[in-house]
Amino acid sequence: MSLLYLFVALVVSFAICLLLVRFAHKHSHFTGDNKLSETQKFHDGPVPRVGGLALVAAFLVVQPLVLLMEGEALARVSALIFLACLPVFMGGLLEDILKIGLIKTRLAAMAGGVLLLIYLLDWRIVRVDLPFLSTWLAFTPVSIALTLIAIVGVINAMNLIDGYNGLTCAVGMIILASLAYIGLKVGDRQISILAVTLLGACAGFMFWNWPRGLIFLGDGGAYVIGFGISSLAVGLVMRNPGVSAWYAVVLMLYPIVETIFTINRRLHRQESPGLPDAAHLHQLVYKRMMRWAVGSGKSGDRKMRNSMTSPYLWLISSLSVIPASIWWNNQLALQTTAVLFILGYLWLYRSITKFRTPKWLIYRKHCRTDKDEQ
């Protein structure tokens, strides 16, 4: 029955994106990405940045179906999750339309959504499977503070990696698939239904976003995915003692590590952590590993190069999600995975920056433009 929610969400999201793309000429003056800085922009021409509308609409349409099929108790949880997500989404949508970074407004909206989640459902981090920290989490204020930091951090992390066609959406889908699987495995139908619903909404959007880049998530869409995966991860661990707290960490390790490493890099350079730069892992993959049409000024070539970048990062994300899904109740295995993933990330990043990337990782297309890079 969970597949029904996935299908309905997919169809609704697909249809909303179709309308947004079809009538882009009527709203692109305020929904397009034409005012983004060159550091943030990697696409040609104004493209709608309001894909988050499709995700929210799909989730909303599924609500009556959940009530009809699952009953009031589960539908209530689903509705409250949606309510808590709204301020987060609206904060991002405001940035997408105004095309300016409203840092204080953004953080206030995120914090408001997390606090609303805690107030309405009491979903919060109550254990981290580390003795010296678990004692502190017995104090509710500490638990709330850690939950606030963790969820807001993941929301921003998913937005940070949103740089290429299909990147954030596919990473979110991989994580949601794991959440749905573990939810079913431990008998938590609420988590699995919520996960497959958002998964379906992402799939409907993905058709239009990758590889053609006809519509983008925007800040609102990235925030919805970030809020969704982090909230469900917190809820799954809290409601099911058999699921290790490290499962949630390893599950989202790629965006988490990318964000922490980015903050550290910017602080080391005495730069503001909130300012955009061009040194993220996905940007290095784009510039130095994806050699498709390097040097070509053709729009189609640049778009193909853009879209071929994302699968590299899907694979990297899967290297933590798959082990997390296998050893979801094995703390030692999860901790080992976390250490190996971080070491692998640092090795890959350093290799790319030092021009020592293994040749088998570099995609090349044999064409005259390759000579321009030599």
Rounded Cα distance between 138 and 4, Å, is 39
Both tokens of residue 348? 């890959």
Sign of torsion over alpha carbons 158, 159, 163, 166: positive
Burial environment of residue 275 by CB neighbours within 10 A (0 to 12, 13 to 18, 19 or more): exposed
Interacting residues of 238 by C-beta distance below 8 A, sequence separation 6+: 123, 124, 125, 126
Please, are residues 207 and 304 in contact by the beta-carbon 8 Å criterion? no
pLDDT in tens, 107-161: 999 999 999 999 999 999 999 988 778 789 989 999 999 999 999 999 999 999 9
Residue 250, SS3 per DSSP: helix
* pLDDT tens, per residue, the chain with 374 residues: 578 999 999 999 999 999 999 998 788 877 876 654 444 454 556 799 999 999 999 999 999 999 999 999 999 999 999 999 999 999 999 988 887 777 888 999 999 999 999 999 999 999 998 877 878 998 999 999 999 999 999 999 999 999 899 999 999 999 999 999 999 999 999 999 999 999 999 999 999 999 889 999 999 999 999 999 999 999 999 999 999 999 999 999 999 999 999 999 888 887 777 777 778 899 888 888 776 545 555 666 677 788 889 999 999 999 999 999 999 999 999 999 999 999 999 999 999 988 787 776 776 654 444 434 43
Residue 303 confidence (pLDDT): 75
Query: Which segments of 298-373 are extended strands (E)?
Result: 363-364
pLDDT in tens, 179-195: 999 999 999 999 999 99
Tell whether residue 159 is among the known ligand binding residues.
Answer: yes
Residue 374 confidence (pLDDT): 37
Rounded Cα distance between 127 and 143, Å, is 9
Strands 363-364, 290-291: pairing is parallel
Tell whether residue 219 is among the known ligand binding residues.
Answer: yes
